[in-house]
Amino acid sequence: MMCGTEWWLSFVAIVVTSFLQGVHTIRITKIEVPPILKVGGSGELDCVWEEDNDHMYSIKWYQAAQEFYRYTPTSSEPIQIFDPPTLDVDGGRSWGGSVRITNVSQTATGPFHCEVSADGPTFHTASEQANLTVVDTPDEEPEIQGVESHYSSGDWIDINCTSRRSHPPAQLSFSVNNQPAPLGWTEPQRDTTDENGLTTSVLRLHFYLAPRLLQDGQARIRCYSEIPGVYEKWTEEVIMTSRPYHASVLDGATAGCSVTTFGSLWLLALLLFHSSNTPYL
Ligand X SMILES: *[C@@H]1O[C@H](CO)[C@@H](O)[C@H](O)[C@H]1NC(C)=O
Interface with ligand X (CB under 6 A): 88, 103, 105, 111, 129-131, 145-146, 159-160, 204
Chain-centre distance of CA 88, in angstroms? 22
Nearer to ligand X, 131 or 152 (CB): 131
Please tell me the number of Cα atoms within 13 Å of 72 on its side-chain side: 8
Q: How far is the CB of 262 from ligand X (least distance, A)?
A: 38
Helix (H) or strand (E) holding 32: strand 25-32
Which is nearer to ligand X, 105 or 261 (by Cβ)? Answer: 105
Q: Does an H or E element contain 250, and which?
A: helix 248-251
Torsion of CA 144, 147, 152, 158, to 10 degrees: -70
Q: Which is nearer to ligand X, 59 or 205 (CB)?
A: 205
- In the bound complex, what is the minimum distance in angstroms from residue 277's beta carbon to ligand X? 38
Q: Where are the beta strands (DSSP E) in 120-276?
A: 125-135, 143-145, 156-166, 171-176, 179-180, 190-193, 199-208, 218-227, 231-240
**Among residues 155 and 251, whose Cβ is nearest to ligand X?**
155
**Closest residue to ligand X in the complex (CB):** 146
Q: Please, what is the minimum distance in Å from the beta carbon of residue 229 to ligand X?
A: 16
| Minimum CB distance to ligand X, residue 145 (Å) | 4
